A = this chain, B = another copy of it.
Amino acid sequence: MRTVVPVSGSDPKTRLSPVLGPDERRAFTEAMLADVLDALDGAGHSPDVVSTGPVECDAPVTVDDRGLDALVNDLLAEGPLAVVMADLPLLTADAVERLFAPAADVVLAPGLGGGTNAFVCRHPEFRVDYHGASIRDHRRIADDVGASLAEVDSRVLATDIDEPADLAEVLLHGDGRAADWLTDAGFELSFDDGRVGVARE
């Protein structure tokens, strides 16, 4: 099955701006992408990367600056498709295998906060709408087109990294390139009022 990893290659991860400069955000984005590609490779998949701008990675890259919905829906019209977001640095080969395992027409991996961090689609009429709480829209769209639906219950598929607070999850659990990048950049876990966060040296 065709497997695509969309990534923002232009001005990535702007919500990390409070703690990372533009060049750092790009380097960290590439580190997270490398972790995602490693996990997919470990599960036997050979993904293509589709980026809004040039990006360094160990996979074929197509530059396409359309919005995510238009891009993914064009690919869905061409046949079975898996899409895995690029900001899932905790992803493991096991979790990828669990994403592809259900025999359902559509398999969704919910993100924290209502996003859809990955899906597998084997139904000709399913389409995506990534705005708002997309997991609810995707459940509805699958139902509307009569597609059987499964959801994969995975913390590592649910943990997309968008904001400074999310970096704690990478330091708590990651052993890949994104975690190494953060450590090399001087980030470490901090504890304030019983809650975990990150601090930079």
Contact = CB atoms under 8 A, between A and B. Distances in A.
A110 interface: yes
Interface string A172-199: 1100000000000000010100111000
A200 interface: no
A106 interface: no
A155 interface: yes
B92 A153 contact: yes
A157 interface: yes
Nearest to A135: B172
Interface of A: 92, 94-95, 98, 110, 112-114, 132-133, 135-136, 153-159, 168-169, 172-173, 189, 191, 194-196
Minimum-distance CB pairs A-B, first 3: A155-B158, A114-B196, A114-B172
Contact of A154 (B135, B136, B154, B189): B154
A196 B133 contact: yes
B113 A168 contact: yes
Between A98, A114, A159, A195, the greatest number of chain B beta carbons within 10 A of the residue's beta carbon is seen for A114
Contacts of A135: 172-173
A113 B155 contact: no
A112 B169 contact: yes
Given A135-B172, A155-B154, A112 B112 contact: yes
Contact of A155 (B110, B172, B189): B110
Nearest to A91: B153
Contacts of A189: 114, 133
A136 B94 contact: no
Contacts of A157: 155
